Amino acid sequence: MSTVRESINVDVPVTTAYNQWTQFEEFPTFMEGVEEITQVDDKRSHWKTRIAGVKREFDTEIIDQFPDDRIVWRTTDGETSQRGVVTFQPLDEAHTRVNLAVEFEPEGMAEKAADALNIVDRRVKGDLRRFKNYIEERGGETGAWRGRISPS
């Protein structure tokens, strides 16, 4: 397994940053390589990605979600194996640090090469920069889901 960890400070309150991150179907707007996400229910989503020319489809489930604090997920089915956590740390009333950690198993030569060349790290860093620009330019979230999902 490979792990990518990145953080970024965004100029919005923690609730705004968290609320936007719960809008999974908006991810293609700021995540490079994510073509489509379909929210199946509160816990499950179906993803379609194209990274380094490789198309993948997979399902994820949220295993822990606590408003304004964290979202933890893992893949459950499909062509990729990953798990991750995004946390939200208030810096003050108007600024938030978003921390993202993703563990993944590179599949095939293209993904293993991309991992070895730190392309995945750069992609995640770019996704966080685009998230920052997206939420700061909007000035507010496009929606919110404030439910609690507890680990079993």
pLDDT computed for residue 128 by the predictor: 98
**Helix 108-116 to helix 119-138 angle, to the nearest 10 degrees?**
80
Confidence check: pLDDT of 72 > 90: yes
With respect to residue 113, please indicate whether it lies within any of the assigned structural domains.
yes
With respect to residue 128, please indicate whether it lies within any of the assigned structural domains.
yes
- Closest of 62, 6, 63 to residue 37, by C-alpha: 62
Specify the CATH number for the domain of residue 107.
3.30.530.20
Q: What residue numbers bound the domain in which 96 lies?
A: 2-138
Bridge partners, 37 (sequence order): 47
Q: For the chain, give the percent of residues with pLDDT over 70.
A: 98
- Closest of 97, 103, 99, 108 to residue 120, by C-alpha: 103
Mean pLDDT value across residues 4-11: 97
Report the alpha-carbon distance of residue 123 to residue 127 in Å, rounded.
6
Mean pLDDT value across residues 13-40: 97
With respect to residue 58, please indicate whether it lies within any of the assigned structural domains.
yes
Query: How many domains does the chain divide into?
Result: 1
With respect to residue 152, please indicate whether it lies within any of the assigned structural domains.
no
SS3 110: helix
Mean pLDDT value across residues 3-26: 97
With respect to residue 146, please indicate whether it lies within any of the assigned structural domains.
no
Q: Is the dihedral of CA 86, 124, 110, 52 positive or negative?
A: positive
User: What residues have CB less than 8 Å from 121, skipping those under 6 apart?
Assistant: 4, 6
Report the alpha-carbon distance of residue 135 to residue 23 in Å, rounded.
12
**How many other CB atoms are found less than 10 A from the CB of residue 152?**
5
With respect to residue 75, please indicate whether it lies within any of the assigned structural domains.
yes
Structure confidence at residue 34 as a pLDDT band (50, 70, 90): very high
7: enclosing H helix or E strand: strand 2-10
With respect to residue 55, please indicate whether it lies within any of the assigned structural domains.
yes
Q: DSSP assignment, residue 121?
A: H
pLDDT computed for residue 111 by the predictor: 72
Q: Note the pLDDT tens digit of each residue in 99-146.
A: 999 998 877 777 777 767 777 889 899 999 999 999 999 999 999 999
With respect to residue 48, please indicate whether it lies within any of the assigned structural domains.
yes
Q: DSSP assignment, residue 149?
A: B
Q: Note the pLDDT tens digit of each residue in 43-65.
A: 999 999 987 778 889 999 999 99
